[in-house]
């Protein structure tokens, strides 16, 4: 029995028809960016921070505002750059950015500075105007330890380039926290701080509205009773999830699949409970997949050891050996073990106890499969 009309509408890649309960933020962001577009060739461009917790709709908000601005303004392009994909390599970020605007301005032999200069010249010569969203900017800043970041460049474009008019009209920096881990200098912080758009966590009632809306796009009418939507909203509105809509949609997708497998034409609250137990680690799957190479290799080494021996923690010595073997077999240098280990510990992926380490919030078996899949890609 089918319960879905279209399950892909629950996926993070799908842009919803509308962003309920973010109407105010939507118009504010649009206003701020429009101010930059209207000023045009003046020595002014809009800079704005969008800040909010996981699954609060930051990425979606920026994409939707960007789309609308493009639709309304001829010669205006919105480019979305997810900095998480690039870790700390500025040159690969600028390659991506420049190519998204024009192949003509791009060449593989150029440095980051030359790419940026080319981009600005291209915009000047063609009259093309640009708005950029740098998503997960805090991740990029902490990976680069605040040095040589795109945040630095794009908070002071007028100082680092003399190309005029400057056809970059707006830059949006998206982050989970506004402090950027303390890595930014005062000039950057004050320049960024000018406009901060904070997305508060959704409340239970807001989540019910949002989920009901998404359910009506994805499920057959009547397949998801109100009690199910309410239960998901209940769970997700509380800590540690703080209104994470992505998790809520994952839960609904999982629960819907369970119902279909059972041959039912409706979803039960207990499907959600089951999904919840299973999904917590799955919802972090993309996060694991996005880890930089070395931390990923360390995590995989820990998972493999713990899977082999059913213990709470693994000996660091053994993890280090496993890591070296892994690096060798994957043609990587075996350096950077300690750095990768701290990286994982700081972000809560692992727990260190003296010379032992343990996994947090995921079982070794699932994690091994996940990481091995992501390394194959
Ligand atoms: N108000 C809303 N209405 C409908 N769907 C929403 C709303 N807010 C968030 N979503 C959905 O929730 C999911 C997560 O949203 P999004 O990716 O924009 O969050 P985020 O704040 O960027 O999270 P992260 O910090 O993990 O990057 C997406 O599938 C998005 O479509
Ligand atoms: Mg996001």
**Structure confidence by residue, pLDDT tens digits, 45-99:** 899 999 999 999 999 999 999 999 999 999 999 999 999 988 678 999 999 999 9
Structural element, H or E, at residue 314: strand 314-315
The confidence band for 342, taking pLDDT boundaries of 50, 70 and 90, is very high
Give the start-to-end residue ranges of the domains of the chain: 7-11+201-283, 40-198, 287-376
Instruction: Give the Å distance between the CA of 12 and the centre of ligand 2.
Output: 9
> Distance between CA atoms of 356 and 186, rounded to whole angstroms?
39
Ligand 1 nearest atom to the CA of residue 63, by list position: 18
Beta carbons of 253 and 232 less than 8 angstroms apart: no
Q: Is 251 in the pocket of ligand 1 (CB under 6 A)?
A: no
The structural architecture, per CATH, of the domain 287-376 is Orthogonal Bundle (1.10)
Instruction: Give the Å distance between the CA of 59 and the centre of ligand 2.
Output: 4
The confidence band for 129, taking pLDDT boundaries of 50, 70 and 90, is very high
Instruction: Give the Å distance between the CA of 172 and the centre of ligand 2.
Output: 13
Q: Which fold has domain 7-11+201-283?
A: Helicase, Ruva Protein; domain 3 (1.10.8)
- On the question of pLDDT at 300 being above 90, the answer is yes
Proximal ligand: closest to the CA of 55 = 1
Q: Is 21 in the pocket of ligand 1 (CB under 6 A)?
A: yes
Query: What length is written for the chain?
Result: 377
Strands 314-315 and 356-359 come out as: antiparallel
Say what the pLDDT of residue 361 is: 65
Beta carbons of 213 and 193 less than 8 angstroms apart: no
Q: Which fold has domain 40-198?
A: Rossmann fold (3.40.50)
Residues of the chain with pLDDT > 90, as a percent, come to: 65
Say what the pLDDT of residue 127 is: 94
């Amino acid at each position: 029995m089918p319960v879905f009309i279209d399950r892909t509408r629950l996926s993070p890649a799908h842009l919803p028809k509308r962003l309920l309960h973010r109407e105010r933020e939507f118009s504010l962001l649009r206003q701020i960016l429009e101010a930059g577009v209207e000023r045009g060739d003046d020595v002014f461009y809009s800079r704005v921070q969008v800040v909010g917790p996981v699954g609060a709709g930051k990425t979606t908000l920026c994409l939707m505002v960007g789309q609308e601005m493009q639709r309304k303004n001829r010669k205006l392009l919105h480019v979305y750059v997810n900095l998480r994909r690039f870790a700390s390599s500025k040159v690969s970020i600028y390659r991506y950015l420049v190519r998204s605007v024009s192949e003509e301005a791009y060449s593989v032999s150029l440095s980051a500075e030359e790419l940026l200069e080319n981009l600005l010249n291209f915009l000047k010569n063609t009259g093309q105007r640009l708005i950029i969203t740098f998503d997960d900017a805090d991740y990029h800043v902490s990976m680069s330890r605040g040095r040589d970041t795109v945040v630095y460049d794009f908070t002071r474009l007028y100082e680092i380039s003399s190309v005029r008019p400057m056809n970059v009209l707006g830059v949006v920096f998206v982050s989970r926290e506004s402090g950027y881990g303390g890595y930014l200098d005062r000039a950057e912080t004050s320049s960024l701080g000018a406009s901060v758009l904070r997305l508060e966590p959704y409340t239970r009632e807001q989540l019910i509205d949002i989920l009901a809306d998404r359910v009506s796009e994805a499920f057959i009418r009547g397949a998801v009773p109100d009690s199910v939507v309410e239960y998901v909203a209940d769970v997700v509105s509380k800590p540690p999830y703080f209104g994470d809509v992505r998790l809520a949609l994952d839960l609904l997708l999982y629960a819907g699949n369970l119902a279909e497998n059972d041959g039912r034409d409706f979803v039960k609250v207990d499907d959600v409970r089951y999904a919840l137990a299973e999904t917590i680690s799955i919802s972090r799957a993309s996060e694991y997949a996005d880890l930089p190479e070395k931390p990923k290799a360390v995590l995989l080494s820990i998972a493999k050891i713990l899977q082999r021996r059913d213990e709470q923690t693994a000996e660091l010595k053994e993890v280090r050996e496993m890591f070296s073997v892994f690096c060798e077999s994957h043609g990587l240098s075996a350096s950077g073990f300690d750095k990768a280990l701290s990286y994982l510990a700081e972000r809560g992926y692992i727990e260190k106890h003296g010379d032992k380490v343990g996994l947090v919030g995921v079982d070794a078996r699932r994690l091994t499969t996940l990481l091995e899949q992501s390394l194959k890609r």
